[in-house]
Structure 1
Amino acid sequence: MNPFLELGIRHEIVNAITELGFEKPSPIQEKAIPVLLTGNDDFVGLAQTGTGKTAAFGLPLLEQIDFSQKHPQALILCPTRELCLQISKDLEKYAKYLDDARVVAVYGGANISDQLRQIRRGVQIVVATPGRMLDIINRNAIDFSSISYVVLDEADEMLNMGFQEDINNILSETPENKKTWLFSATMPKEVRRIAQKYMVDPVELTVGTKNTGNANIEHQYYLIKARDKYAAFKRIVDYYPEIFGIVFCRTKIETQEIAEALIKDGYNADSLHGDLSQQQRDKVMKRYRERNLQLLIATDVAARGIDVNDVTHVINFSLPDEVENYTHRSGRTARAGKTGISISLINVKELGKIRRIEKIIGKTFEKKQVPQGGEVCEKQLFAIVDKINHVSVNDDQISPYMPAIVESLQDLSKEDIIKRFASLEFNRFLDYYQNAPDLNIDARESGRGDRERGDRGRDRDRDRDRSRSASTGYTRLFINLGAVDEFSRGDMLGFICNNANIPGKSVGKIDMKGVFTFFEVQDHDVENVFQGFKAVDFNGRQVRIERSSGEDRSDRGGRSSRGGGDRYGKSHSRDRRGGSDRGRSYNKDFRDFSGKRRESKSRY
């Protein structure tokens, strides 16, 4: 008998989740579902991320709903729009064979009119972020008088994000006799208080130890000088050719800067942060889920609710300000029983924070050595060999070319051919890492040169120096495309490089405005930019490149100062990818790029 049937879940739901690959309940599901199916108690469930909490409350919730009624009977609150969408999609999949089951996702960044329209059509389960839910309540556009169940998912994170007052206001609109189910990865005092305020003798269930992380995650740290952090980060990425990871930064600015630097250095990377529009966020996440991105650079808030299979590594480029957030970050890997690695890049001053995290999660961090250049080259070489060994061969397609290939290589021995094929990629790493320095430091070192400046100061100076402009051989240019055209700075970098046929390292600072952008390019590539954009349009609009004279005054009086200078832009039909084969060269298999030191390529 199916174990979910034994727990009390009806056949229609079990059939749906079996199609999704559910074979047996996870520990939190096995313990929570029988309690929640009774529908008689408030409930507090503590379990780390990635353990199946959505099904733990979603399956019994579907059992409690009367789908013949078209009014809201359950409200699920969660911290971010990504998690909101994920929960609603999961519930719809679980309810695939239930007649008239309707779930509505309510979140900011999307058209509120569409959401209101869906609510008016009739809905039993509303999944919402607190801010947008409060907007709808204030419009008197929803009736919560028949709400029987409220689920607070990722309660600790909602409180960390400042939703305490919103949650209070929302819950005040629901009946007093409702049942409240609270799920959280950690149990800080704030979550304990909310349980005491809104629940009556809740059943409390803990899977594992409170505030601990997933047992399947290896926790590692690398001790380095602050000034070497970016170099060490790249070397670690290169050491893991198959990496498919999420990189966490403290701030939106740091997230964007690291992503841009990686793109310039040829990595398949992009950023995810709060300044992106919903459409931009969806585009980035689509690329990541499809593995067109190797590295997703994100803030804590933006990455909340990301549920992507087989994330191999979580990298803490900067440790979180709140130590408890480390549990949420590391939980993005090792989901659904898989294994994963959580890496932290730290300086000597941050060793104390690592020790505090160890106490909270009940795990010991392993100190690792930043790989030497030779070790990286060896790893990459055998990754190339493995790729060659497992490549699929389409005999029908390649057979017509084989005689010419054999003839071209007839003077080479088998060993020579193998050497040359392997060297095609290996030489890139060999050249780059030939004289690579040792980036490791001993914990007893004070960092001498770093003592007076912390991580953020060093990284900020490094990035400022890297992007500092015209006085060091850069020219500032203007392009009549900007944020309203749904470009991120990473998109713009790829668009410029692709059309001008220049490497990412030739582009300096990118200053994106609403309808236009200023960018810096090395002096010797300026003419390439003008030539490359002679015949480009974007969505039917002529693309124009100009030299910029004087400072940007767009923030003072609403007008920008641009010199007439050189100008190109003839109408010519091209699609958003730039209208050339180069625009389609973004590697569709992230494994085909393992941190190679090469010119960056973009989807655009």
Structure 2
Amino acid sequence: MNPFLELGIRHEVVNAITELGFEKPSPIQEKAIPVLLTGNDDFVGLAQTGTGKTAAFGLPLLEQLDFSQRHPQALVLCPTRELCLQIAKDLEKYAKYIDDVHVVAVYGGANISDQLRQIRRGVQIVVATPGRMLDIINRKAIDFSDVRYVVLDEADEMLNMGFQEDINSILSETPDDKKTWLFSATMPKEVRRIAQNYMTNPFELTVGTKNTGNVNIEHQYYLIKARDKYAAFKRIVDSNPDIFGIVFCRTKIETQDIAEALIKDGYNADSLHGDLSQQQRDKVMKRYRERNLQLLVATDVAARGIDVNNVTHVINYSLPDEVENYTHRSGRTARAGKTGVSLSLINVKELGKIRRIEKIIGKPFEKKLVPQGTEVCEKQLFAIVNKIHNVAVNDEQIDQYMPAIVESLQDLSKEDIIKRFASLEFNRFLDYYKNAPDLNVDARESGRGERDREDRGRDRGGRSASNGYTRLFINLGAVDEFSRGDMLGFICNNANIPGKSVGKIDMKGVFTFFEVQDHDVDKVFQGFKAVDFNGRQVRIEVSEGGRSDRGRRSFGGGDRDRGRSRDSGRDRDRRSGGSDRGRSYNKDFRDFSGKRRESKSRY
């Protein structure tokens, strides 16, 4: 007997999911479906991305709803438009053999009139992102009075993106006696608060250990110098000829720069970030899903909700600002029981963050060495040999050319022909990696170098500037309600420098230290000559020991009062015409001085 039938799923649905390749339930499906089929309890399910959560709540929903009625009975909230579309499509596939099932996907970046038209025609399941859903509620265009089930998928992601208020507003429109099903990869206190506020004695189910990573993911790190990061990255890619990966960067600007560099160097790559229109995002994702792209370079926000099978590698070109986000990044690989690799390119200063991530995911990282040039060439050579050996031959088409081909190659021996075919691509790698240096860093040697630099010059923050960077002071900090991401955007927007020029940001209560590449320091001083924040002058200084050959200088004045009020810059569908990002900078925001200016999101 089919194991899904044993769980209580009807034949029509089982037939549909069997066609989709469902053979046996995943652990979260096996444990959650029997509980949810009772329809009696609120539910909290903790499981990593890629473990089959959509079917875990989707299949019970199809059993519980009355499809003879054409009004909303279930609402599924999720963080991104990609995930919204994916869930809606999956539910429609599961319901292939059930009559009169109507699902609508409600998300920003698409024509709201079309979505309203679908709602008016009658739907039973609404899958939505919070911002667009709130738009439609505010238009009085939907009635949730008969909603029986609300599903919060990727709840931790939604809260990380700043949708807490939207979720509160949406849930207030639904009946008090509904059942709420919450699914999340991690359980921070904000998610726990939702469970306390909107659920009654929920049944809690944890698959694996809370906040841990997928057991099928291998975690690796490469210790390198910051200036060698791109070169090391390319070597790692070249040593994995069949790589199909997602590359995570910290900022939108870095994402664009890395993607453009890869394209220029001949790789099948493209970027995914918040400045792209929905049409551009769809085009990039279509190419990636069809494997016409080998590498997708993305920010955390842009990549949320990406559900692509058979991703072999997640590459952390830059570690996330919040270590908890590492779990979501790595979850893009090893989906549906497959295996995958999550690797990080780090310098010695970031070893501590790797250790913190290890504690969160409950798994150790393996230190790997950046391959030498000869190793890369060897990998590429045998990849070419395998490709030649396994190529499909169309005898009908090629036979007509064979006499001419044989005649052209008749002066070559079999060995010479093999050498020439293998060398077509191999020579490029031999030339590139000839005399390639060793890019690996010895942590102990580098640690001594760090201590020497610290001894030569400590600033008020207790740290010296990284090599090639100048450490600066700014009289704004955490009490001004800045996050590190906000501070990065504030610096880049006012100084007109790219995000990659800014190094470590060390945020304190009423001030912040940040590193800027030496060649951009003057731009920072010029950019902040006449900037104020909440009525007080913003002051920039070179910190003591920040750079020994640059005297201490500053712009601005005023005391370090603790002004707190500012626009948080949260991007909402209802404010920015369809984006589902949470906190970011949009093109029509008021800068931190209260003066309207042009800017772009760093995501």
Tell me the SS of whatever aligns to 1:302.
helix
Q: 1:174 to 1:246 in 2, by over 3 A?
A: same
Deviations 1:510-542 (A, max 9, x none): 999999999999999999999999999999999
Q: 1:2 to 1:555 in 2, by over 3 A?
A: farther
Supply the distance in 1 between the matched residues of 2:318 and 2:440 (Cα, whole angstroms). Answer: 17
- TM-superposed deviation, 1:99: 0.6
Supply the distance in 1 between the matched residues of 2:589 and 2:395 (Cα, whole angstroms). Answer: 24
Contact 2:219 2:365 in 1 (8 A): yes
Q: 1:559 to 1:165 in 2, by over 3 A?
A: farther
Q: 1:539 to 1:208 in 2, by over 3 A?
A: closer
Supply the distance in 1 between the matched residues of 2:392 and 2:481 (Cα, whole angstroms). Answer: 37
Q: 1:444 to 1:169 in 2, by over 3 A?
A: same
Deviations 1:164-200 (A, max 9, x none): 0000000000000000000001111111111111100
Deviations 1:13-60 (A, max 9, x none): 111101101010000000000000000000000001100000000000
Q: 1:510 to 1:201 in 2, by over 3 A?
A: closer
Tell me the SS of whatever aligns to 2:229.
helix
Q: 1:275 to 1:60 in 2, by over 3 A?
A: same
Tell me the SS of whatever aligns to 1:428.
helix
Tell me the SS of whatever aligns to 1:114.
helix
- TM-superposed deviation, 1:603: 27
Contact 1:150 1:181 in 2 (8 A): yes
Supply the distance in 2 between the matched residues of 1:530 and 1:349 (Cα, whole angstroms). Answer: 27
* TM-score between both structures, scaled by the size of structure 2: 0.76
- TM-superposed deviation, 1:446: 3.1
Unaligned runs of 5+ in 1: 458-463
- TM-superposed deviation, 1:309: 1.0
Deviations 1:127-162 (A, max 9, x none): 000000000000000000001000000000100000
Contact 1:497 1:504 in 2 (8 A): yes
Q: 1:415 to 1:512 in 2, by over 3 A?
A: farther
Supply the distance in 1 between the matched residues of 2:323 and 2:537 (Cα, whole angstroms). Answer: 50
Contact 2:525 2:554 in 1 (8 A): no
Contact 1:144 1:174 in 2 (8 A): yes
Supply the distance in 2 between the matched residues of 1:582 and 1:46 (Cα, whole angstroms). Answer: 23
Deviations 1:49-72 (A, max 9, x none): 100000000000111110000000
Contact 1:510 1:518 in 2 (8 A): yes
Supply the distance in 2 between the matched residues of 1:82 and 1:504 (Cα, whole angstroms). Answer: 26
Supply the distance in 1 between the matched residues of 2:189 and 2:501 (Cα, whole angstroms). Answer: 50
Which is worse superposed, 566-575 or 259-268?
566-575
Contact 2:254 2:499 in 1 (8 A): no
The equivalences for 1:490-529 within 5 A come to: none
Supply the distance in 2 between the matched residues of 1:449 and 1:309 (Cα, whole angstroms). Answer: 43
Tell me the SS of whatever aligns to 1:75.
strand
Q: 1:2 to 1:240 in 2, by over 3 A?
A: same
Contact 1:260 1:490 in 2 (8 A): no
Q: 1:475 to 1:103 in 2, by over 3 A?
A: same
Contact 1:216 1:340 in 2 (8 A): yes
Q: Give aligned pairs, total.
A: 595
- TM-superposed deviation, 1:403: 1.0
- TM-superposed deviation, 1:584: 39
- TM-superposed deviation, 1:412: 1.2
- TM-superposed deviation, 1:549: 42
Tell me the SS of whatever aligns to 1:452.
helix
Supply the distance in 2 between the matched residues of 1:169 and 1:483 (Cα, whole angstroms). Answer: 28
- TM-superposed deviation, 1:251: 1.0
Q: Does 1:85 align with 2:88?
A: no
Q: 1:327 to 1:512 in 2, by over 3 A?
A: closer
Tell me the SS of whatever aligns to 1:454.
helix
- TM-superposed deviation, 1:327: 0.7
- TM-superposed deviation, 1:445: 3.1
Deviations 1:352-410 (A, max 9, x none): 00000000000010000000000000000000000000001111111111111111111
Contact 2:108 2:573 in 1 (8 A): no
Deviations 1:261-300 (A, max 9, x none): 1111111000011111110000000000001000000111
Contact 1:32 1:56 in 2 (8 A): yes
Unaligned runs of 5+ in 2: none
Tell me the SS of whatever aligns to 2:437.
coil
Q: 1:524 to 1:137 in 2, by over 3 A?
A: closer
Which is worse superposed, 475-484 or 207-216?
475-484
The corresponding residue for 1:278 is 278
Q: 1:143 to 1:561 in 2, by over 3 A?
A: farther
Q: 1:576 to 1:288 in 2, by over 3 A?
A: farther
Supply the distance in 1 between the matched residues of 2:537 and 2:494 (Cα, whole angstroms). Answer: 14
Q: 1:288 to 1:560 in 2, by over 3 A?
A: farther
Percent of aligned pairs sharing the same letter = 91
The two structures, once aligned, show a CA RMSD in angstroms of: 13.2
Contact 2:288 2:296 in 1 (8 A): yes
Supply the distance in 2 between the matched residues of 1:547 and 1:407 (Cα, whole angstroms). Answer: 72
Supply the distance in 2 between the matched residues of 1:582 and 1:533 (Cα, whole angstroms). Answer: 28
Supply the distance in 1 between the matched residues of 2:10 and 2:32 (Cα, whole angstroms). Answer: 16
The corresponding residue for 2:459 is 465
Contact 2:530 2:556 in 1 (8 A): no
Supply the distance in 2 between the matched residues of 1:478 and 1:506 (Cα, whole angstroms). Answer: 16
Contact 2:533 2:593 in 1 (8 A): no
- TM-superposed deviation, 1:416: 0.9
Supply the distance in 2 between the matched residues of 1:580 and 1:410 (Cα, whole angstroms). Answer: 62
Contact 2:536 2:558 in 1 (8 A): no
- TM-superposed deviation, 1:596: 48
Contact 2:538 2:557 in 1 (8 A): no
Supply the distance in 2 between the matched residues of 1:198 and 1:392 (Cα, whole angstroms). Answer: 58
Q: Does 1:297 align with 2:261?
A: no
Q: 1:528 to 1:395 in 2, by over 3 A?
A: farther
Tell me the SS of whatever aligns to 2:453.
coil
Q: Does 1:207 align with 2:211?
A: no
Deviations 1:475-516 (A, max 9, x none): 999999999999999999999999999999999999999999
Supply the distance in 1 between the matched residues of 2:79 and 2:320 (Cα, whole angstroms). Answer: 18
Supply the distance in 1 between the matched residues of 2:395 and 2:526 (Cα, whole angstroms). Answer: 41
Contact 2:537 2:556 in 1 (8 A): no
Tell me the SS of whatever aligns to 1:591.
coil
Which is worse superposed, 8-17 or 500-509?
500-509
Supply the distance in 2 between the matched residues of 1:202 and 1:515 (Cα, whole angstroms). Answer: 41
Q: 1:408 to 1:197 in 2, by over 3 A?
A: same
Q: 1:448 to 1:294 in 2, by over 3 A?
A: farther
Tell me the SS of whatever aligns to 1:222.
strand
Supply the distance in 1 between the matched residues of 2:265 and 2:20 (Cα, whole angstroms). Answer: 39
Tell me the SS of whatever aligns to 1:582.
coil
Supply the distance in 2 between the matched residues of 1:117 and 1:69 (Cα, whole angstroms). Answer: 17
- Structure 1 ranges of 4+ moved more than 6 A: 447-457, 464-550, 553-556, 558-604
Contact 2:253 2:500 in 1 (8 A): no
